Copies of this chain bind each other. A is one copy, B any other.
Amino acid sequence: MRNTFGNAVSLTLFGESHGAYIGAVLDGLSAGVPVSEEEIARQLTRRRPSSLLDTARAESDRFEIVSGVFNGKTTGTPICILIPNENTRSADYDYGRARPSHADFAAYKKYHGFEDYRGGGHFSGRVTAALVAMGGILLPALKTLGITLGTHISLCQGHKDASFQDAEKDLAFLQEATFPVLDQEVGEKMKQKILAARAEGDSVGGATESLIHGLPAGLGEPWFDSLEGLLSHALFSIGGIKGISFGAGFDFAAMKGSEANDAWRMKDGKPFTETNNNGGINGGISNGMDIVFSCAVKPTPSIAKEQETVNFITNEETTLAIKGRHDPAIIRRICPVIDSVTALVLCDVLTGRYGSDVFTKGLSLCVTD
C-alpha cells in the first residue's frame, strides 16, 4: 500500500518538502464527525518550530480542507487537506553527496535518481504536517468516544522524565505543553542538552512514551493485525523512530514470569490489573487497561559538523557540513506526530470492529458483552 495506511479508515500522504503543497487524504471516517479548523490549527501549532530548540525554517502551516467536510462535519467521503509549502530554499541542497543517516543513498537505489531530492523531498519531516493536520480531526473524534491519548519525552541524553501517574490529568496537560514532559525540572535539563548540541552544530536523540486511555477491551487481532503490529507499522514510518516497545518492553529481558505477569483483580465489578507490564495488550488485543508504548528516536541526522561521506554519482569519498535549517532534536516535535499516527490506527481499528458509523453511534451502542 506504500503511502496509504489503514483498512477501514485509511490515510494517503503526498507531497515533497519543496513542492507546491504537501497533503493527505483520509478515507472511511464516519459521516457526521465535527471538524474544527481550530483543532487542526492547534495540532499544527504543537508541531511547529517555536524556539531555538527547533529548526529555523518558518512554517505558517496554513491549510485548506479541500473535500469531505460539509457544514462543519465529515461527509463520510474522502477528506483532503492541503498545506502549501512556503519557506523553501532549494539552493541549500545539492545532489549526490549522501547525507549520513539520511535516505539520500537508499532513495537513489530505489528511484534511480528520479527522486525529488530538494529538502529530502517526500522523505522530509515536512510531510508529517499533513499527518498532524489529520490528527486535528482524528483526535477530537476519538475524544467523543471517551478515548484520549498523548506522548511525552521520556528520555533524552540521560535525563529521564517521570512516568504517567494520572492518565486523564497528564494527557490534558500534554495536549497544551510546549515542551512535553511530565516533570518540568527534567524538561529544563533536556532543553539545556538540546541547546548545547545546537551550539556545537550537533543534535541529540531521545525516547518518548505514549499512553492511550479509554480504549475498550477486545480490539486487535491475534495474528498479524495485533494492536502492537498495527501501531508499530504506522509509527515506524515517522522519520527518526528506530524502536518501539509496549509495556515493560526491553525490560522484560531481565524479568521472570512471576514478576512480569499482570495479576487480574476486580474493581467496581470489572477485572483490572494492578501492574501493566503488558502495556494494555494481551495476545495482540486490548485488555481494557491503558495502552502504553515507547518510541526510540534517533538524533536528527542533519548536523552542521563536518562529516565524512561519499558522492554516490561520482563514487568518490568526500565530506559534508549540512547547511540548511535543521532541528537540533526532533523529540519535541515528534510527539504530536506520534499522537496523530496513533489516532489514525485507533480510528481504523475501531471502525473495523464496530462499523463505519461508530463515531456517530458512540461506543455504548457498539460495545456488547
Q: Which residues of B have CB within 8 Å of A251?
A: 296
Q: Is A287 an interface residue (CB 8 A)?
A: yes
Q: Which residues of B have CB within 8 Å of A285?
A: 103, 106-107, 109-110
CA distance A229 to B219 in the complex (A): 20
Contact code string A74-96 (vs B, CB < 8 Å = 1, else 0) = 11111110100000000000000
CB distance from A13 to the nearest CB of B (A): 5
B-binding segment of A18-26, A134-142, A166-174: A18-26
Q: Tell whether, in the assembled complex, residue B158 and residue A254 are in contact, meaning their CB atoms are under 8 Å apart.
A: yes
Q: Tell whether, in the assembled complex, residue B266 and residue A310 are in contact, meaning their CB atoms are under 8 Å apart.
A: yes
Give 5 A-B pairs besides A4-B12, A31-B114, A266-B315 with Cβ atoms closer than 8 angstroms.
Answer: A2-B28, A101-B277, A239-B283, A252-B297, A260-B301
Contact code string A347-360 (vs B, CB < 8 Å = 1, else 0) = 00000111111101
Q: Is A67 an interface residue (CB 8 A)?
A: yes
CA distance A6 to B255 in the complex (A): 33
**Given A20-B64, A80-B14, A271-B312, are A298 and B116 also a contact pair (CB < 8 Å)?**
no
CA distance A355 to B115 in the complex (A): 18
Q: Which residues of B have CB within 8 Å of A264?
A: 98, 100, 105, 308-310, 312
Q: Tell whether, in the assembled complex, residue A109 and residue B352 are in contact, meaning their CB atoms are under 8 Å apart.
A: no
- Select which of B22, B64, B76 is within 8 A of A110 by beta carbon: B76
CA distance A104 to B269 in the complex (A): 18
Q: Which residues of B have CB within 8 Å of A298?
A: 248, 252, 255, 260, 277-278
Within 8 A of B (CB), among A242-287: 242-266, 269-271, 273, 277-279, 281-287
Q: Tell whether, in the assembled complex, residue A66 and residue B15 are in contact, meaning their CB atoms are under 8 Å apart.
A: yes
CA distance A244 to B253 in the complex (A): 12
Closest B residue by C-beta to A64: B20
CA distance A247 to B28 in the complex (A): 28
Contact code string A110-130 (vs B, CB < 8 Å = 1, else 0) = 111011100001110001000
Closest B residue by C-beta to A78: B14
Closest B residue by C-beta to A240: B252
CB distance from A345 to the nearest CB of B (A): 11
Q: Tell whether, in the assembled complex, residue A253 and residue B20 are in contact, meaning their CB atoms are under 8 Å apart.
A: no
**Ordered nearest first, which 4 A-B pairs have the shortest CB separation?**
A103-B283, A243-B245, A109-B218, A355-B355
Closest B residue by C-beta to A117: B70
Q: Tell whether, in the assembled complex, residue A250 and residue B261 are in contact, meaning their CB atoms are under 8 Å apart.
A: no
Closest B residue by C-beta to A286: B106
Contact code string A204-247 (vs B, CB < 8 Å = 1, else 0) = 11110000000011111111111011101111110101111111
Q: Is A325 an interface residue (CB 8 A)?
A: no
CB distance from A261 to the nearest CB of B (A): 4
Q: Tell whether, in the assembled complex, residue B3 and residue A223 are in contact, meaning their CB atoms are under 8 Å apart.
A: yes
Q: Which residues of B have CB within 8 Å of A101?
A: 257, 260-262, 277-278, 282
Q: Tell whether, in the assembled complex, residue B352 and residue A357 are in contact, meaning their CB atoms are under 8 Å apart.
A: no
Contact code string A303-315 (vs B, CB < 8 Å = 1, else 0) = 1010111101001
Q: Tell whether, in the assembled complex, residue A257 and residue B66 are in contact, meaning their CB atoms are under 8 Å apart.
A: no
Q: Is A199 an interface residue (CB 8 A)?
A: no
Closest B residue by C-beta to A160: B253
Q: Is A197 an interface residue (CB 8 A)?
A: yes
Q: Which residues of B have CB within 8 Å of A38?
A: none
